[in-house]
Structure 1
Amino acid sequence: MLPCYHTVKGYGEHEIIIQKSRFIAHVCTSTSEEEAQAFIIDIKKKHKDATHNCSAYLIGENDQIQKANDDGEPSGTAGVPILEVLKKRKLKDTVVVVTRYFGGIKLGAGGLIRAYGKSASEGITATGVVERKLMTIIGVTIDYTFLGKIENELRTSPYQLKEIHYLESVEIDVYVETEKIQTYKNWMTELTNGQGILKEKEAVYLETLI
């Protein structure tokens, strides 16, 4: 699992007009080629009366799945520019479909490349980009007498509190970056005078809008 990567926030769309043609960018996260293809098919159904529904997606930790489709536009003028935007923005697990309703004015190859690239870029910006950082949830079980002190220390620390479980003892779950796990454990051991019971739980990604 990657320690950190960028992707889009979720689904979004954005429309621009260029030389009377409507360009509508549809943007979504996708973690598999099947998901990406299903998204493209869905957009094509919704805009079956459009002149073109051009697409591109970039999937995988190492960008191992890359596809671009011009959907009838001159070769290399639509899908590739969309894909290049994904690469330039360093996004992963992202699919973009740009729907075009022809406005009667031909743009030429250069104009198409710029139009599809601009539409994809603005669509991504409108949707929002997030940083996904890999965190490990670490639980610490303590006596109730430590609760106030530990909670106050956590709220003023760089560590993010996830949840507090009020049971026979208190269990506090905290998100910790992988490279800071040992530092966190040492800190918590010191705060609890060695009486806290630490347990590493699952690894999860936390999203931050950038």
Structure 2
Amino acid sequence: MQEQEQESRITSYTALAAGPDFRHDIEIKRSRFITVLRRADTEDAARDLVAGLRREFHDARHHCSAFVIGPDRDIQRSNDDGEPSGTAGIPMLEAILKRETVPGVTDLSDVSAVVVRYFGGILLGAGGLVRAYSESVSAALDRAPLVRRRRLRICSASVPHSAAGRLENDLRAAGFVMAETTYGARETTLRLAIPDNPAELSAATERLLSFTAGTVELTPGGTEWLDVPLP
């Protein structure tokens, strides 16, 4: 119960964008380091990436991994996969945890990272491995698409079909985030995603009333985590 209350206080964080895996390849002293990043919001999804890359790169010596999951980043795991202890998984994990998404803010989560290493014949030493694995993940994150995850209150407004298009355009122009629209026999139900606090809900209600001459009310629903573009 205490953990759920803690999560409920977190309303936004940065995540890897959903979509195809992101890959970045670098060579360090003839060793090849292939970093693969995947959006993952469960441990199973994160571990699936490792399993898939073991099959794809079955001839590689190491498939080191790290992942961070959840709004409060409470799930954190890493694996050296045969590299000397502490030289691969932990540096990869720290590259995610210490990533500044804006100056002074480290809130990146829902990221699974795997670095596949093909040994090039030159020993890097413990310090060299730490730098190589850290730099591999950091370089991939430099280029990977990120989004803002926000916990938003989903509210609905039902209007006649003939009025739905104009009202939706007005709401979008006013800066509202629109969720999925549903269509009934007589009405269209617009769904607005509003920051989960009383002041924002009150302001949205007033704006909707002004757009509809007081004829349409806003009905609050549950909350959902939605992706929004980074500012």
TM-score range, shorter chain: 0.7 to 0.9
The size of the alignment, in residue pairs, is: 210
**Which residue does 1:133 correspond to in 2?**
150
Q: Which runs of 5+ in 2 are unaligned?
A: 1-7, 100-106
Name which of structure 1's ranges 136-145 and 175-184 shifts more when overlaid on structure 2.
136-145
Larger relative strand fraction? 1
Is the Cα–Cα contact under 8 Å of residues 96 and 120 in structure 1 kept in the other structure?
yes
Q: Which runs of 5+ in 1 are unaligned?
A: none
Question: Relative to 1, partners in 2 of residues 1:69 and 1:164: Cα closer, same or farther, differing over 3 Å?
Answer: closer
* Whole-Å separation in 2 of the counterparts to 1:106 and 1:149: 65
Superposition RMSD on alpha carbons, in Å?
2.4
TM-score between the two structures when normalised by the length of structure 2:
0.80
SS in 1 for 2:108: coil
SS in 2 for 1:206: strand
Identity over aligned residues, as a percent? 33
Is the Cα–Cα contact under 8 Å of residues 142 and 197 in structure 1 kept in the other structure?
no
1:167 to partner: Cα distance: 5.1
TM-score between the two structures when normalised by the length of structure 1:
0.87
* Whole-Å separation in 1 of the counterparts to 2:59 and 2:71: 35
**Which residue does 2:192 correspond to in 1?**
174
SS in 1 for 2:49: helix
Name which of structure 1's ranges 144-153 and 119-128 shifts more when overlaid on structure 2.
144-153
Residue of 7, 14, 34 corresponding to 1:6:
14
Runs of 4+ in 1 over 4 A off after TM superposition: 143-149, 164-167
**Which residue does 1:60 correspond to in 2?**
70
Name which of structure 1's ranges 151-160 and 24-33 shifts more when overlaid on structure 2.
151-160
Q: In structure 2, what residue type is equivalent to 1:200?
A: P
Q: Which structure is richer in relative contact order (CA contacts within 8 A, separation 6 or more)? A: 1
**Which residue does 2:125 correspond to in 1?**
108
Q: In structure 2, what residue type is equivalent to 1:102?
A: F
Name which of structure 1's ranges 168-177 and 23-32 shifts more when overlaid on structure 2.
168-177
Question: Relative to 1, partners in 2 of residues 1:15 and 1:144: Cα closer, same or farther, differing over 3 Å?
Answer: closer
1:143 to partner: Cα distance: 5.2
